[in-house]
Chain A
Amino acid sequence: METGWISWLPEAASTLAGKVDALYFYLSGVTAFFTLLISGVVIFFVIRYRRRSPFEIPRPVAGSHKLETIWTVIPLMIAMSFFVWGTNVYFQQARSPKLAQEIYVVGKQWMWKVQHSTGQREINELHVPKGRKIRLIMTSEDTIHSFYIPVFRIKADVLPGRYTDQWFEATKTGTFHLFCAEYCGMNHSGMIGSVIVMEPKEFDNWLAGNAGNQTPAAAGQQLFQSLGCASCHGVSGEGGRGPTLAGLFGRQARLTTGTSVVADEVYIRESIVNPQAQIVEGFTGIMPTFQGQVSEDQLLQLLAFIKSLHIENPQQPVPAASPASTSAQPRPTPQLNPK
């Protein structure tokens, strides 16, 4: 990709990029072929059958069902090949890998705030290691933004009041563009930054070099105490008047409505800002809402804390990329409702 192509294609720096580019080449090839073919035929006809005398009336040509069928079915089949390929790549990308390292992203007018699971904070920069799967959990403090890294070929809108996520695995070290791709107001074009892909070792050093920061989980634990969550859910989330939180994340929670939901990021966020919406079976809705009392950053910290609760010792920070720390791993199902 180094030669003359460089100006036609962005660098491919993630495991996904090659797949998207392959599809792009296929699309370009097929569409260029047909565009040239059809324009060629049109130009040929226009020259060959140009009007030679002002009053000539060409013989009418009857339509042909056979031809119509052919040029309906063939484009349809080609289009379906695009569909299958495109959707296939998309679904590979849509499912976040279980073993990804998580990084929290909060968008606000007009900056990107990033926090690593070790506590490092960055603004408009994202340091990531090469060769490790990274999952971004994203939300917005105000309007809709979109987190776009062209060299990784990934983009996802960042919405207020909700979590969205996307993941990547970088394959190349270097500094790359990070853009906000959803128009978000005055300084939209200034809501840009850099993605810095480092060798894993360097990255670990970089993380270690910025020690002293509280991890999100630890900060979340403090919040958990100061907001009074512990009085109902227990100091380590063991439960009490409120449901048990330890080991909750990623499990099915049965609700009073008789249905059950997976306790994912969205569910936990919803339970903090709108506790009445989905009440766990066996409990009543006595929890007050925390909407407006905790910022998006703090919500993410609480989330990180609750996620960390499946480990015996909740205070322990989540080490980067250690398989033991992965949050969404299936776990044995502990008791949800202490009775």
Chain B
Amino acid sequence: MSEHIVSVRIYFLILLALLVGTVLTVVAGKIDFPFHLNVIIALTIACVKATLVILYFMHMRYSKRLVWIIFVSALFWMGLLFALTLSDYTTRNWLSQ
């Protein structure tokens, strides 16, 4: 397997997308969305930006499956930390209700 060389054009496109994402998130941050949407919008934009960086700048798109597995498992473990700890905090006062 030889390494994949990403073209400069793609790098430029990604840069553009990241900058647009930054502007969008700042603008969206100042607008008052209903239903707590602000957090969701901000995090969605951040996730999209992060995905672009990972896939193209970090060449994940062209990497072996092992690299995908490693990265996804990191997110999975982070999810475990969040989920199980929150299982405590979110249910602490259930008993008294």
B-contacting residues of A (Cβ < 8 Å)?
94-95, 261-262, 264, 266
Contacts and interface: CB of A to CB of B under 8 A. Distances in A.
B93 A95 contact: no
B95 A266 contact: no
A262 B95 CA distance: 11
The majority secondary structure among interface residues of chain B is loop
Given A262-B97, A264-B96, 8 more contacts: A94-B95, A95-B95, A261-B93, A262-B93, A262-B96, A264-B93, A266-B93, A266-B96
A222 to B, nearest CB: 28
9 contacts: A94-B95, A95-B95, A261-B93, A262-B93, A262-B96, A262-B97, A264-B93, A264-B96, A266-B96
B34 to A, nearest CB: 13
Contacts of B96: 262, 264, 266
Which 10 A-B residue pairings sit nearest by Cβ, starting from the closest? Answer: A264-B96, A262-B96, A262-B97, A94-B95, A95-B95, A266-B93, A262-B93, A261-B93, A264-B93, A266-B96
Nearest to B92: A266
Contacts, number: 10
A261 B96 CA distance: 10
A261 B94 CA distance: 10
A264 B95 CA distance: 11
A94 B93 CA distance: 12
Contacts of B97: 262
Most buried by A among B93, B95, B96, B97: B96
Nearest to A264: B96
Interface in B57-97: 93, 95-97
A337 B75 CA distance: 47
Nearest to B97: A262
Nearest to A261: B93
Contacts of A266: 93, 96
A136 to B, nearest CB: 16
Contacts of A261: 93
Nearest to A263: B96
Contacts of A94: 95
A209 to B, nearest CB: 35
A166 to B, nearest CB: 12
A170 B12 CA distance: 75
A262 B93 CA distance: 9
A319 B96 CA distance: 24
A138 B93 CA distance: 16
Contacts of B95: 94-95
B12 to A, nearest CB: 46
Contacts of B93: 261-262, 264, 266
A164 to B, nearest CB: 11
B89 to A, nearest CB: 13
B35 to A, nearest CB: 12
Nearest to A91: B95
Nearest to A265: B96
Interface string B38-60: 00000000000000000000000
Contacts of A264: 93, 96
A262 B96 CA distance: 7
A266 B96 CA distance: 10
A305 to B, nearest CB: 20
A95 B95 CA distance: 7
A95 B93 CA distance: 12
A162 to B, nearest CB: 10
Nearest to A328: B96
B10 to A, nearest CB: 46
